[in-house]
Amino acid sequence: MRISQRCGCILLAGFIGLLAGGCTPVRVNQKQRLADPIMAFDHDHLHSEMMGHIITPREGAIGGFSSVGAGGCGCN
Amino acid sequence: MQLSRFVWIFPLSGLLPAADQQLEVQPLPLADSDRPGDLTLKLSAYNQQDNGGIEQVDEDASVFEAVILARKQITDTGTLSLRALGDVVSAASIERAHNADWQAQQGGASGNYRVGLGGGWSEQGDQVDWRIGVQFAAEYAYLSSGANAGVTWNLPGRNTALSADLQVFMDTVDLIRFNGDEEGSEARDTYTLDLGWQQVLTPYDLLSLSLSHTEQSGFLATSYNSVFTPTSEYSEELPDSRSRTALTTRWRHSFGTDSAGEIGARYYTDDWGLSAVTLDVRYSHYLLGRRLLLEPTYRLHVQQAAKYYRESFIEPLSEYRTSDPDLGDFIGHMVGLKAGFLGGSLFGYKADWDVSLFAYDRDNGLSAFWVIIGQRVEF
């Protein structure tokens, strides 16, 4: 198993562990902090997309951050 | 060097709904004139310095891009968005000294422009949000048309959101090789399915998991790319299909009323043998009474090369081959800082400005820096 594959497994296991350990219902009146714009994962969507457009072609990987995928341009 | 792969997709927002969209109580109906809208202009300037990469090719490059996005809530639940985009590209590779007869007719590297238009509609409901969009783009030797559709389910209690997004691109590549040979046109089709899960963990923590799978078919090499042997130069050749999968998790934590931080990680793999792990750390902090928002960023990308990649080749050549540094082994570090100036006004309308600087250093010698400036006006 290559190093990156092991990292992928660790990533998934870590996520499931976090979810299992930390997932308790949060009431509406407890969500004031979560509703702040800076708590959104990509609160400046256009900026995030432009970052994805710049970074993604420089890397062989796609997906995940900023939802920029393949296709739509002249490179692989 | 891949200069023009500035992919342009169109969901109105990201894969998952923003926290405020997900958590707020649905607003009362508004009169038409009260429905919100905004106009955003972003400009970017990108510069790449060639201190490595392909030895025989000068890979210095610069790209300037402008994007205009207009959004307007048209109904109580529906928002229309329209977008226009333009790129100007210049690259030293169009004057490659090793091939003086080459007339710089190649596609992406010397295309020197790219234009695009798109539009989308999104609906926000009590439990279900959905969105659709279309887009078209043209550049020298490349045409693209795409569409996307997505849906988000907000589970009761609005602590969990599940989403699914499908993107389709039907593109056409004019095959103009590194030596100027023209070999007609071929299709490139791309289908991407994104599945997302966003979870409220605590009053201060959000977590997301997304699985992205892409199937591509058609001409997937970069037509003007080439590989070198000690005595000659040949075109890049890559398979006509590619299956790509990425698993990403992101955790965002509120440190207080004025600050939040995020750590994210992605594992990527594809059937060309390329795999990568990416770590992304971000911090957001309001200053000056929330009129200034500073956001430093760090990104680490560790990539293992595609099985067809070699820095150089010897005859006889294998069926598939590439020396594209973007498909090779490398470790990259990116640092950046974004400053947002909030709560201003322009001609009586509420307006925000932002400026960002980024530097990306790769251990294969191709480093870059870029700046993005933006202005957003609400109307």
pLDDT in tens, B342-378: 988 888 899 999 999 999 999 988 889 999 999 999 9
Instruction: Give per-residue pLDDT as tens, B287-324.
Output: 999 999 999 999 999 999 999 999 989 989 999 999 99
3-class secondary-structure state, position B155: coil
Chain segment A11-44, per-residue pLDDT in tens: 666 666 666 555 678 888 889 999 999 999 999 9
Is some CB atom of chain B closer than 8 A to the CB atom of A6?
Answer: no
Instruction: Answer yes or no: do B44 and A40 touch at CB < 8 A.
Output: no
Helix/strand/coil percent split, chain B, to 5 = 5, 65, 35
Q: Among B133-142, B158-167, B235-244, B255-264, whose mean pLDDT is lowest?
A: B133-142
Domain spans of chain B? 19-378
Which pair of tokens denotes residue B255? 């440190």
Give pLDDT, residue A7.
61
Taking the domains of chain A in order of start, what are their residue ranges? 36-61
- The three-state DSSP-derived secondary structure of B83-142 is EEEEEEEEEHHHHCCCCCCCCCCCCCCCCCCEEEEEEEEEEECCCEEEEEEEEEEEECCE
Q: Write phi, then psi, for A19 (nearest 5 degrees).
A: -65, -45
Nearest to A15 among B5, B209, B277 (CB): B209
Structure tokens at B176: 């103009």
Across B234-248, b (16+ Cβ under 10 Å) vs e yields bbbbbeeebebbbbb
Q: What is the mean pLDDT of chain B?
A: 86
How far apart CA A50 and CA B58 sit, in angstroms, is: 25
**Residues on chain B touching A72 (C-beta within 8 angstroms):** 7-9, 135, 137, 144, 146, 169, 171, 190
In this predicted structure, the answer to whether residue B243 has a pLDDT above a threshold of 70 is: yes
Between B83 and A65, the higher pLDDT residue: B83
Tell which wins on pLDDT, B205 or A67: B205
Q: CB B200 to CB A40 under 8 A?
A: no
The β-bridge relationship of strands B78-91 and B114-124 is: antiparallel
Q: Within 10 A of B49 (CB to CB), how many other CB atoms are there?
A: 13
Give the model's confidence band at A52: pLDDT under 50 very low, under 70 low, under 90 confident, else very high.
Answer: confident
- pTM assigned to the model: 0.85
How many Cβ atoms are within 10 Å of B363's Cβ, its own excluded? 12
Identify which of A33, A64, A73 has the shortest CB distance to residue B7. A73
Q: How far apart are CA B261 and CA B281, in angstroms?
A: 8
pLDDT at A34: 93
Three-class DSSP category at B257: coil
- The Cα B2–Cα B95 span in angstroms is 15
Sign of CA dihedral B218, B107, A76, B67: negative
Looking at residue B336, its pLDDT comes to: 97
Q: Cis link prior to B29 (omega < 30° from 0)?
A: no
Higher pLDDT: B12 or B194? It is B194
Top CATH class of B19-378 equals mainly beta
pLDDT bracket for residue A2 (50, 70, 90): low
B111 has a pLDDT exceeding 70: no
The answer to whether A70 and B191 are in contact (CB under 8 A) is no
Say what the pLDDT of residue B180 is: 81
Distance CA B195, CA B191 (A): 13
**Closest approach of A12 to chain B, Cα-based (Å):** 8
pLDDT above 80 (res A6): no
Binned at pLDDT 50, 70 and 90, residue B49 comes out as confident
Between CA B186 and CA B176 the distance in angstroms is 11
Phi, psi for residue B294 in degrees, rounded to 5: -105, 135
Radius of gyration (Cα) for chain B, nearest Å? Answer: 22
DSSP string covering B178-240: TTS-EEEEEEEEEEEEEEEEEEEEETTEEEEEEEEEEEEEE--S-TT-EEE-SS-EEE-B--S
Coil, strand or helix: which one is A72? Answer: coil
Structure tokens given for B49: 């310095």
Q: Look at residue A22 in the predicted model and tell me its pLDDT.
A: 54
CB proximity A2 to B under 8 Å: yes
Q: Between A5, A35, A65, which is nearest B275 by CB?
A: A5
DSSP single-letter state for residue B264: E
Largest CA distance in chain B: 72
Query: Can you tell me the ipTM of this complex?
Result: 0.84
Question: B158: alpha, beta or left, given left = phi > 0 and alpha = psi -120 to 50?
Answer: left
pLDDT at res. B113? 82
Over 90: is that where the pLDDT of A58 sits? Answer: no
Chain-centroid distance of CA B227 in Å reads 27
- pLDDT band, residue B33 (cuts 50/70/90): low
pLDDT of residue B361: 94
Candidates A1, A39, A45, A68: best to mutate against B (most CBs of B within 10 A) is A39
Mean pLDDT, range B246-259, rounded to an integer: 95
One-character DSSP codes across A1-67: --HHHHHHHHHHHHHHHHHHHH-----GGG-TTTTSGGGSTTSSHHHHHHHHHHHGGGSS--SSGGG
